[in-house]
Amino acid sequence: MMSTSKKSIIVGALLALGGLMSTAQAQETTLKIGAAQVSSGSLPVIVADQEGLFKAEGLAYERFDFKGGGPAVQALASGSIDLCICAAEHAVRLQEKGLGGKVLVSLLDRHSYAMLSKADSLAKSLIDLKGQKIGITSAGSLTDTTMRYAIRKLGLDPDTDFELIAVGRAGAQQAAIQAGVIAAGLFTTPDIQITLGESKDFKIVEDFRNLAYPTNGLIATDAWIEKNPETAAKVVRALTAALKKIQEDPMVLAGALKEMFPEVKNDEIIQQIIKDVTNGAISKDGVMPPESYAVLGDMLRTVDPNVKITAYDDIVVKTIQ
């Protein structure tokens, strides 16, 4: 039979351990992370969570998926969310507004969108859709900027030669195309692979995925970084570790994809997504390449010649470790 003194020691030890665990849990920081939409840009964040990399840094997170970068960055600017999985161009827009947007961690270093239409459409490229309606996610989003850039590169006017319609994400785009509301729409990875893999009703009309472009980064305001320097450093460490893990073992993405898209049961589609995003799209080290930022500047200037492009060194975060 255990003595009373031994019982007291054990109970005391357990209470102390419980107190330490409660303190650790109380110290855990929960981040509110918004995403422009459900896309491959969120994969490194999910990997960081699933692999315990956030937990190792004392972090947890809630993800909020928006219908485009426009509303997502508005939530960031208002403080409703802490960080945004958004196109790097939104950091530039925040800089323009005096909010000091920064790319805390680069997530995708290539464009992630393609334009899809009905499979029986006669259109073979964007120019064949002149005079028709094109679906974008939301006004002011990457899809909006991309279409305006691509149209102007053709020597056409996006406001008079086409009609850009804010439709939302993939499901809404599919429905609008099939109903004839729009002639084509912008889909991101992995919606491209899922749509083409599950249906023969669609085809790619224009593919932007080979374009070096900082499609997704973890965007923060200067105010948030200045207020939370230690948390920012923890986020950078966790995500840099997640990106390294993805490079070492791409199959770690399978679990993240199944969490994002539990309805996708076709392993061939999962494998195709993994192949596509690890072929130079996902950042290797979390640092935005200067060359992709240069393309961003060219794109924004084509759309708006008066836009003020922040210097590369002022848009990336270099001092946080």
Q: What domain range is 150 assigned to? A: 113-207
Q: Is 256 exposed, middle or buried (0-12, 13-18, 19+ CB in 10 A)?
A: buried
Any domain includes 80: yes
Question: Are the C-beta atoms of residues 135 and 317 closer than 8 Å to each other?
Answer: no
pLDDT of residue 270 exceeding 50, the answer is yes
Task: Tell me how many domains the chain contains.
Answer: 2
Q: Cα–Cα–Cα angle for 303, 309, 313, nearest 5°?
A: 145
Any domain includes 85: yes
167-217 confidence digits (pLDDT tens): 988 899 999 999 999 999 999 988 999 999 999 999 999 999 999 999 999
Q: What's the CA gap between 48 and 235, in Å, rounded?
A: 9
What is the pTM assigned to this prediction? Answer: 0.82
Q: How many CA atoms are closer than 13 Å to the CA of 182, on its beta-carbon side?
A: 24
The predicted pLDDT at position 81 comes to 97
Any domain includes 4: no
Let me know whether 197 and 70 are in one domain. no
What's the full length of the chain, in residues?
Answer: 321
DSSP state of 249: -
How many beta carbons lie within 10 A of that of residue 23, not counting itself?
9
Calculate mean pLDDT across residues 141-167.
95
Let me know whether 100 and 118 are in one domain. no
Q: Cα–Cα–Cα angle for 292, 84, 238, nearest 5°?
A: 85
Structure tokens at 264: 């996708």
The predicted pLDDT at position 75 comes to 94
Let me know whether 97 and 220 are in one domain. yes
As a whole number, the mean pLDDT across the chain is: 89
The predicted pLDDT at position 27 comes to 80
Let me know whether 141 and 74 are in one domain. no
Any domain includes 20: no
Structure tokens at 159: 């406001």
Calculate mean pLDDT across residues 93-111.
92
Radius of gyration of the chain (CA): 22
Calculate mean pLDDT across residues 145-164.
96
Give residue 18's pLDDT band: very low, low, confident or very high (50, 70, 90): very low
20-68 confidence digits (pLDDT tens): 444 444 589 999 999 987 889 999 999 999 999 999 999 999 999 887 7
Q: What is the domain-level CATH number for residue 159? A: 3.40.190.10
φ, ψ for residue 306, nearest 5 deg: -95, 0
Comparing CA positions, the residue from 277, 319, 225 lying closest to residue 47 is 277
Let me know whether 105 and 236 are in one domain. yes
294-320 confidence digits (pLDDT tens): 999 999 998 889 989 999 999 998 766
Domain termination residue (choose one: 179, 207, 235) = 207
Let me know whether 233 and 284 are in one domain. yes
Least confident of 13-17, 72-76, 143-147: 13-17
Let me know whether 41 and 118 are in one domain. no
Q: What's the CA gap between 174 and 192, in Å, rounded?
A: 11
Residue with tokens 């827009």: 93
pLDDT of residue 13 exceeding 90, the answer is no
DSSP state of 154: T
Q: Tell me the β-bridge partners of 83.
A: 33
Give percent of the chain above pLDDT 90.
Answer: 73
Cis peptide before 305 (omega within 30 of 0): no
pLDDT of residue 10 exceeding 60, the answer is no
Let me know whether 119 and 198 are in one domain. yes
Structure tokens at 77: 């600017």
Give residue 16's pLDDT band: very low, low, confident or very high (50, 70, 90): very low
Question: Are the C-beta atoms of residues 129 and 162 closer than 8 Å to each other?
Answer: yes
The predicted pLDDT at position 321 comes to 56
Domain termination residue (choose one: 181, 207, 233) = 207
Let me know whether 104 and 220 are in one domain. yes
Let me know whether 216 and 309 are in one domain. yes
207-247 confidence digits (pLDDT tens): 999 999 999 999 999 999 999 999 999 999 999 999 999 99
Q: What's the CA gap between 313 and 11, in Å, rounded?
A: 56
